[in-house]
Chain A
Amino acid sequence: MKLGFLVDLALCMGCKGCEVSCKVENEVPISMWRLRVKYVDVGTFPETKRTFTPLRCNHCENAPCERICPVSALHYLENGIVNVDRERCIGCAGCVMACPYGAIYIDPETNTADKCTYCAHRVAGGMMPACVVACPVEANIFGDLDDPTSNISKYIMQHQGNVKVRKPEKNTHPKHFYTGGGEVNLNPLASKREDGYNLFNNITHLKHVGGH
């Protein structure tokens, strides 16, 4: 079994239901996110469009975070999920430096690394991840990539040529896919990030990370 995610960006409407449900399910502290939805505005008025991109851990098959973790706090589960053992983590932040997707943070309450685990605790109980359940348009598709009859496998087959991953050049082999998106959605260098031009200002940088 190899669990994977696919987000159909053509369906996503940026409601942030996934983001909120993730926060609640996993008790993610204030100012930290396991999953977030990024808004990018494209074009010049009146020819403008707003794009929405949910971003979470990619559960890479060749995960740099797992490789660099000195104590195996980040480890693979048999179903392909890259899980975190908070009791083992020493908080060196090597994983934060290694993850090309910025998906890992140091939890300021536990002083350990944390990230999306595809809701491994729910999956173990036969349930879907919280974000999948919360999505009103079923833009989040979750399932077994090894099973050709799973929804995600069928979706990937149906959208061949339009299925993308973030930063494929990093050789991480992500198990998180996107359809209906382009560079603006998936490449952080494809959009500007200007102070004062956000819907909410003063969110550009966190001053403190973790326990320092």
Chain B
Amino acid sequence: MVEHATVATDAVVTLDVALPGIVWGWMITLNMWAKSIGTGVVLIGVYLLKKYGDRAATVKTLMPVISFIFLNIFLLFTLLDLHQPFRMWHIFFYPHWTSAITVGAWLATIFTGIIFVMAAGKILKRIDEEQYNKLMWAAFVFAIPVTLYTATIMGESAARELWQTPTELIQMALAAFIGGSATYLLLGIGDQNIKRDLAIVLGVSATLSFIVYMGEYYFGAMKAEEVAATIAFVKEGGSYHTMFWLGQSMGYIIPVILVIFGLRNKSNSMLALASILALAGLWIAKHVWLVIPQLLNLS
């Protein structure tokens, strides 16, 4: 790796311009976090409705309402993060279809529209069972690409070697499962069987997500020198070391332990605490992963 040659060359940058710093910051993290909940409650909600039917009846109203709230948070901060937010309409009138941003914007808009109709229909009681089911399946289908498209934006960010589409696709899906299951657990939806299912989804998703992060943490450096240089920011002595491990602990390690004990003791409060920590930790973990590639000097 070329950075090892610096010992011999002792090459030091002595005059250059300032580096741009973090361009995609906390607003984009909030965007991803809110989207995980907004789509996660649909993916998990449909599963609950199909498996438990009337035993999960409250999900029918809660699912579109919660999803609509978080999708609007996601869309609001997507808009606010634009340097020219009043030109957002350009995406719809001058779409460039090779861009995952364009595809995602269209999908998210259609998805939010479906969710709005479902939520409004349920609240105003202007929707029958058949119409609801049709919309629910449409929402389920759209929830999948809306969950995943951010991973392809990260993959298209060719400058950021750390973000690889296949890995990020898995992380986005797991984040949605964590977001959806944790939200329902916090709301205390359903009986003990439903809570058990939700806790298992939360625990398994958090475990898998943690494993993927650890894979990157310990083996990512083998792929490319840019990844090694990026991962160094979360390794010991790195500027994001503490925050990284805070995110991993809060988001994954502690919730998994709490889920295990919560299931064993049938403790709803433990599962609720696991959910709060998972949601908070998810934001931190995603933020660190978003920021660290931007600390690397590109030129």
Contact = CB atoms under 8 A, between A and B. Distances in A.
Contact of A68 (B15, B23, B100): B100
Nearest to B80: A212
A64 B1 CA distance: 25
A55 B17 CA distance: 11
Nearest to B99: A70
A112 B95 CA distance: 17
A8 B18 CA distance: 25
B122 interface: no
B2 A189 contact: yes
A192 B2 contact: no
A190 B10 CA distance: 9
A100 B159 contact: yes
A205 B94 contact: no
B187 interface: no
Contacts of A92: 81-83, 101
Contact of A91 (B12, B18, B82): B82
Interface in B47-98: 81-85, 87-88, 90-91, 94-96, 98
A10 interface: no
Contacts, number: 199
B19 interface: yes
Interface residues of B, number: 55
Given A42-B9, A94-B153, A97-B24, A69 B99 contact: yes
Nearest to B10: A44
A18 to B, nearest CB: 14
Contact of B87 (A89, A194, A199, A207): A89
A36 interface: yes
Given A69-B96, A96-B20, A112-B84, A40 B13 contact: yes
A187 B1 CA distance: 11
Interface string A194-209: 1001111001111111
B23 A209 contact: yes
A211 to B, nearest CB: 5
A99 B95 CA distance: 20
A111 B95 CA distance: 20
B11 interface: yes
Interface residues of A, number: 67
- The main secondary structure of chain A at its interface with chain B is loop
A90 B82 contact: yes
Given A106-B23, A189-B2, A203-B18, A97 B159 contact: yes
A68 B156 contact: yes
B170 to A, nearest CB: 20
Please indicate which of the listed interface residues A67, A112, A190 has the most CB atoms of chain B within 10 Å of its own CB. A190
A165 interface: no
A209 B11 contact: no
Given A71-B94, A89-B84, A90-B87, A192 B11 contact: yes
A199 B16 CA distance: 9
A71 B98 CA distance: 10
B157 interface: yes
Interface string B18-30: 1111111100000
A150 interface: no
B83 A190 contact: no
A190 to B, nearest CB: 5
Contact of B84 (A91, A102, A190, A194): A91
Contact of A38 (B13, B81, B100): B13
Given A91-B82, A189-B229, A39 B16 contact: yes
Please indicate which of the listed interface residues B14, B81, B88 has the most CB atoms of chain A within 10 Å of its own CB. B14
A201 to B, nearest CB: 11
B131 interface: no
B102 A70 contact: yes
B297 A105 contact: no
B96 A100 contact: no
A177 to B, nearest CB: 16
Contacts of B91: 70-71, 90
Nearest to A55: B299
Nearest to A207: B21
Nearest to B228: A189
A175 B10 CA distance: 30
Contact of B299 (A72, A166, A205, A212): A166
A33 interface: yes
15 contacts: A50-B14, A68-B101, A71-B91, A88-B90, A90-B90, A92-B83, A97-B23, A101-B299, A102-B19, A102-B20, A106-B23, A194-B12, A203-B16, A205-B20, A211-B83
Q: Please provide the 10 A-B residue pairs with the shortest distance between their CB atoms, ordered closest to farther.
A: A91-B83, A102-B298, A64-B158, A191-B11, A39-B15, A111-B83, A70-B101, A97-B157, A91-B84, A70-B102
